[in-house]
Amino acid sequence: MARAPFSAELEFALAAVRSAGDSTLPAFRQGVEPDTKPDGSLVTKTDLATEQLLRDRCLRAFPADCFLGEEFGEHTGTSGRRWIADPIDGTFSFAHGVPLYGTLLALETDGVSRVGIIHMPALAETVFAAEGLGAWHLSPESSVPKPARFRSCASLDRALICATSTDYFTSSGHAGLLSRLLGSFGAIRGWSDCYAHLLAATGRADSVIEPVVNLWDIAPMTVIHAEAGGLCTDWQGLPTAHSGQCLVTAGPLHTELLQLLNSQPA
């Protein structure tokens, strides 16, 4: 892999995420009892322990950097760079013995993600990217990374959309939008959280639409999808992880989907 400005950070992050993510497997296999956070989402002791592992490893390697995690908040730094982590993206899946959970890590500078990793410990799949280095896929079938690329889909009625849960559309006031999506796409599936993004980046799904996301849910995806030949924007078409919504597609469908998302009241 050619050297590029963020190649060293990518190599570090890939090792850190795979090690931290794989440490979740014993608890996943044995089963865990989750607690409920004030916002109603689930958390387990494994979430906390995994984030602490990532936090400690990042700050040992880059002590001047900032670190933001879902569970413990933000450690400020002086470098202008920020690591953003979700130790278990898909805690609901994790706590229910469903393998569609992942460990996420991104490196951000100037509000833009430059490095991004999705690691699915229970599936032994990883997608990773850095600005200018392309997007890559590691799977159980091969120990050598292969290019991760979006597939080309010419029309919405043949496209496969992924969304974490219909509940998120309803609770955020977008039930009408969900109905329009169901009538426009070839199929919609709840292959949820970061797994949906892994499917899109590796050419197995055409779109991911989420009405509600946090920064740590989506920070790795902007660079992964861009390097894989896709687009990851908010619902206004801005390529940002900071807006609280996301739309992921390959280019040909993006404009059409933006029009669909914004053409009628929710």
In a domain, 195, yes or no: yes
| Residue 92 and residue 216 share a domain | no
| Residue 243 and residue 134 share a domain | no
Domain of 21, in residue numbers? 7-147
- What are the DSSP calls for the chain, one per residue? ----TTHHHHHHHHHHHHHHHHTTHHHHHH----EE-TTS-EE-HHHHHHHHHHHHHHHHH-TTSEEEETTTEEE--SSSEEEEEEEEETHHHHHTT-S--EEEEEEEETTEEEEEEEEETTTTEEEEEETTTEEEEEETTEEEEEE--PPP---GGGPEEE-S-HHHHHHTT-HHHHHHHHHHSSEEE---HHHHHHHHHTTS-SEEEES---HHHHHHHHHHHHHTTEEEE-TTS---SSSS-EEEEEHHHHHHHHHHHHSS--
| Residue 199 and residue 121 share a domain | no
| Residue 255 and residue 207 share a domain | yes
Q: In the prediction, which pLDDT does 1 show?
A: 44
In a domain, 1, yes or no: no
pLDDT in tens, the chain (266 residues): 445 789 999 999 999 999 999 999 999 999 999 999 998 899 999 999 999 999 999 999 999 999 999 999 999 999 999 999 999 999 999 999 999 999 999 999 999 999 999 999 999 999 999 999 999 999 999 889 999 999 988 888 889 999 888 888 888 888 888 888 878 888 888 887 999 999 999 999 999 999 999 999 999 999 999 999 999 999 999 999 999 999 999 878 899 899 888 876 54
| Residue 136 and residue 76 share a domain | yes
Q: In the prediction, which pLDDT does 247 show?
A: 96
Number of domains in the chain: 2
| Residue 45 and residue 161 share a domain | no
In a domain, 2, yes or no: no
| Residue 134 and residue 203 share a domain | no
